[in-house]
Amino acid sequence: MLQLTDEMKAAINSALADRVPLMLASVSADGQPQLGLRGSVHTIDDDKLGVWLRNAEGDTSANVAQNPRVSLFYRNPETRLAMQIQGRAVRPTDPAVVASIYDGSAEPERNADPERKGTGLIIEIDRVYQRGAVVLSRD
């Protein structure tokens, strides 16, 4: 079973406060990769991430509806920790789960969407790479 290390979880959960938000990549219906910085990424479980999308109808939401495969990139030059995370994203429909993703996001991200017009994503992690090698894998 894939299980993020405590160091990885702490880095992800403090990324925005540390001024190193994660980059999220998804792919559009026409195959074009799209990148966006996401300050709302946080761990939900040992193998799942939550992401609050402030625009529920934006590109990322549309992309994962067509193709759930996503990648995230984290790099903190001060701690010299870097990782690429690959997984599958879904938009939960249960209002309680969506609310928990919002509530788990960093305060500046919640403050940017006080009316909760966005939506949540759950990313089930398949692989984590560090220095070009797979360090964790669901396979």
pLDDT, tens digit (0-9, with 9 covering 90-100), for 43-91: 999 999 999 999 999 999 999 999 999 999 999 999 999 999 999 999 9
Residue-range domain boundaries for the chain? 6-131
Prediction pTM value: 0.95
DSSP 45-99: ETTEEEEEES-TTSHHHHHHHH--EEEEEEEETTTTEEEEEEEEEE----HHHHH
Residues 74/15, Cβ–Cβ less than 8 Å: yes
| 3 state SS of 111 | helix
The helix (H) or strand (E) run that includes residue 7 is: helix 6-13
How many residues are given for the chain? 139
pLDDT, tens digit (0-9, with 9 covering 90-100), for 3-44: 999 999 999 999 999 999 999 999 999 999 999 999 999 999
State which fold the 6-131 domain adopts.
Pnp Oxidase; Chain A (2.30.110)
